[in-house]
Amino acid sequence: MLANMYKQLLFFIMVSLLILSASCHTKNETIVPTTIQVNEPAVFTCSPFDTGRITSILSLGWLQPVGHTIPTDHIYFSFQQNGSENLTLYAPGSGLVMQILSRPVLGVPEVKVWIKMNNLFTYYLDHVVLDTSIKTGTLIKAGQVIGTTGLGNTIDFGAIDSTVTNSFSNPARYFSQTIHCGKPLSYYKEPLKTKLYSLVDREGTEKDGWVCVDVPKTLSGNWFLDSTVLITDGPDGWDKELSFAYDIQHPQKLLVSIGGLNGMFGKWSILPSAMPPAQVTTASGKQSYLLWLFDPNYPNNPGAQAGLLIVQMIDDTHIKIEAFNNPRLQDAAFDGNAKIYAR
């Protein structure tokens, strides 16, 4: 099952990269004026597609450089796709279509759509194909057919809740939908909530995942290449980000996600014997992390070492860091290729 799921995710990643490459040809419809009011409760009552077709749900915090170098602010619904089959798409909750971002891929008219339920709560679906009757300004009802799934076998589902504020070390680097990222499944009514949580592919009792793993004054969380221009999360910043975070399926396992450092990008496992990033401070000195090829069965099946990462906190908001694409290195000293990253 895991092998099939990772094949499906790999396909989804390839499709996503195609979408990103076509982003300059996208059309962003006008956002609905705020004079149009809607006041629905922030409650979901319908799955985006039939629950019997869901093969897995991935929680917040997925890592997949370069596009998702830092933990994602949305969850994923996946299904077993039969050929080029598309599933009927239902509105999880009632509301007003606020915005549609069109980004076709391989001839499929995929979009990202934002649906406002009230002044404090909006949700969005991505990698979907909307019915032609759905436009910005359309009022929809929970359970209404609004389109189909897109090219792949996965859709994104995110919640933007203004009553939630995630504690990022430097909020200026993030979009509002990330700062106010809610936990989508937590807004569902029972018994559907319990059913959907049972489909989340995540060990332990905590099924929502984490979009923010920043721990102040420690190495844990997100870092950005230090620059005179503030680098923010998004296509222009993805290759200048890195994160010390967690595997969403096995949340006790630490990962390093790198968008681009000394010729290396990807995500790697960290040995359990290494100092946890949440314990690394300015007093810890230089740390050496062996980068192991990511394997869902790690550390029982550690795979192979891919390289070495050395890092040192030089103050509470800056680190000196360098990656070595050498699977035999166990330690190294900083040289002229080291970079400075900041919160």
Residue ranges, the chain, pLDDT below 50: 1-27
The pLDDT of residue 216 is 97
Residue in 57, 25, 17 with CA at minimum distance from that of residue 265: 17
Distance CA 218, CA 73 (A): 22
Q: What's the predicted TM-score (pTM) here?
A: 0.89
The pLDDT of residue 174 is 97
The pLDDT of residue 299 is 62
The pLDDT of residue 127 is 97
The pLDDT of residue 35 is 66
Q: Which two tokens stand for residue 61?
A: 């915090």
The pLDDT of residue 22 is 40
**For residue 156, with 0-12 CB atoms within 10 Å meaning exposed, 13-18 middle and 19 or more buried, which class applies?**
buried
The pLDDT of residue 28 is 57
The pLDDT of residue 271 is 87
CATH number assigned to the domain covering 2-197: 2.70.70.10
**For residue 84, with 0-12 CB atoms within 10 Å meaning exposed, 13-18 middle and 19 or more buried, which class applies?**
exposed
Residue in 44, 75, 78, 43 with CA at minimum distance from that of residue 62: 75
Query: Where in the chain are all domains bearing CATH 2.70.70.10?
Result: 2-197
Distance CA 277, CA 284 (A): 10
Q: Which two tokens stand for residue 203?
A: 């060990």
